[in-house]
Amino acid sequence: MMSALGGQLVILPSFLCVFLVLLLIKIFHKLWWTPTRLQKLMALQGITGPPYRLIHGNTKEITDMIKEAMSRPKNLSHDVFSVVQPHIHSWTQIYAMVASTETMLEKWKSYEGKEIEVFQEFRLFSSEVISRTAFGSNYIEGKNIFETLAKLGVLVFKNSLTIRVPVFRIFWIIRAKFFFLFGVRRNMYRN
């Protein structure tokens, strides 16, 4: 009876210690390892930002910026972003690809009084931002890559609509090779 009670007294604290160690590992992983790893991965891609601080992150910096923005006198304008989210406004000025936005806005100034195809403009804008971030160049230099990606997207879409029957695939390959080798065209049989 006494040995069974002694065994339980040893097992209970050991389970408690294992639980606490696992809990500390999980907290360490969530609060330090994951944010630091993400920051390093983004830095490898050329994306920088404010440095990470353990436990509170950038919360203190954000609250200071919000307090400072709320203490400034407000003027009547449409620029509310710098007041509502001053930390994002400040960080985009410091860390973001502002050149792409400035290029787009300069181009839009030439359209004054005319309609703008917004879908096309934002497609070009997002392509330029991706190109600057990924390749370190503007959209014009990365245009070939994006044209190839657009063609690939069309092929993937067309390919997703085809029905695949395993045995018939062989016949389609043989037929395609036959047309390729002998130069026989479908149009010859339609007339």
Domain boundary assignment for the chain: 1-48, 56-71+81-96
Distance CA 107, CA 97 (A): 17
Asked if residues 62 and 37 have their Cβ atoms less than 8 Å apart, the reply is no
Q: Rounded to an integer, what distance in angstroms lies between the CA atom of residue 67 and that of residue 42?
A: 29
pLDDT of residue 21: 95
Tell me the pLDDT tens digit for each residue of 147-178.
Answer: 787 888 888 888 777 777 666 667 777 777 77
Predicted local distance difference test score (pLDDT) of residue 96: 65
Number of neighbouring beta carbons within 10 Å of residue 160:
7
8 Å CB contact between 136 and 126: no
Cα distance between residue 166 and residue 122, in whole Å: 42
Answer yes or no: is pLDDT of 188 > 70.
no
Q: What is the pLDDT of residues 13-65, one digit of tens each?
A: 888 999 999 999 999 998 889 988 988 887 877 677 788 888 777 888 888 88
Residue, of 128 and 116, whose pLDDT is higher: 116
pLDDT score of 191 more than 50: no
Question: According to the model, what pLDDT value does residue 24 have?
Answer: 94
What is 154-173 written as a DSSP string?
HHHHHHHTS---HHHHHHHH
Reported pTM:
0.43
Q: Report residue 153 as tokens.
A: 């997207």
pLDDT at 5: 67
User: Could you give the count of Cα atoms lying within 13 Å of 145 in the half-sphere of its Cβ?
Assistant: 13
Pick from 119, 99, 121: nearest CA to 110: 121
